[in-house]
Amino acid sequence: MDKVKKNLRFGKMFRSFLSLFLKSNCPLCQRPADLELCDFCQRQLQKCQLPNCKELWQGDLPVFAWGVYGGILKRAIAALKYENHPQLARPLGQYLGKAWLKAQLSFPEKFSHPPTVVPIPLHATKLKKRGFNQAELLAESFCEVTRLKLTAKGLERIKETEALFGLSPQERIENLQNAFRVGKGLRRQSQVILLDDIYTTGNTVKEAAKALQQQGIATCGVVAIATPLHSKLG
């Protein structure tokens, strides 16, 4: 028995010693990190949370956004999307999911069925280049927390749109026209929550909601990890 205990203690010490060398660095600051992010960056990200995440939860297409798109949150989203750090979707999706549960949002009576979460898709060309859809990864983490159903391929992006940055409002609308179609797993009378990484003008989600509506599928609202402050104005 003493020999067994001694072996267990040795095994625990060896794993602890090994973990010192196996720790990954935080992708945002390069400090050692036990999880996807170091403690410092996690604390800094938490400061980005909006005081009222449901401020935009109103109108025909209500929006629930977790944080302000700027500072370290903007940096984290950029690292996720453009620097090949898909693991960052896990904590960001968890932040969003926990805030969603805490908000205890209500839906109009016309939405009688529990909604399914549908991430905004990437075009196949961009998906192949990036290797993953950040909205889908965020949705997976969000649904793990909220226990909402995820329909990962509920929408398809059939039009290779230009980057919206730098386009005029009218160009953005024209760029996104007929960009989506209903994919697998959604039936008529389904009710959907759209999930995207960033909510800005709303043109993308409006076009996605239109494609769903044409197939008899209602959109209850939109959730996003970040929104610029100016989004509150429109």
Nearest to 52 by CA among 6, 102, 4: 102
pLDDT band at 18 (very low <50, low <70, confident <90, very high): very low
- Which has more pLDDT, 65 or 14? 65
Residue 234, pLDDT > 80, answer no
pLDDT of residue 107: 76
Give tens-digit pLDDT for 31-64.
998 889 999 999 999 999 999 999 999 999 999 9
- Which has more pLDDT, 159 or 6? 159
Helix spans in 123-222 (H): 124-130, 134-146, 169-176, 203-213
Which DSSP state fits 161? P
> Around Cβ 173, how many Cβ atoms within 10 Å?
14
Nearest to 27 by CA among 68, 72, 70: 72
Residue owning tokens 């959109």: 219
Which DSSP state fits 230? G
pTM of the shown model: 0.84
Give tens-digit pLDDT for 116-136.
999 999 999 999 999 999 999
Give tens-digit pLDDT for 167-207.
666 766 666 888 999 998 888 878 999 999 999 989 999 99
Residue owning tokens 């990864």: 137
Q: Is 114 helix (H, G, I), strand (E, B) or coil?
A: coil
Which DSSP state fits 23? P
Angle at alpha carbon of residue 152, lines to 150 and 157, rounded to 5°: 140
Which DSSP state fits 49? B
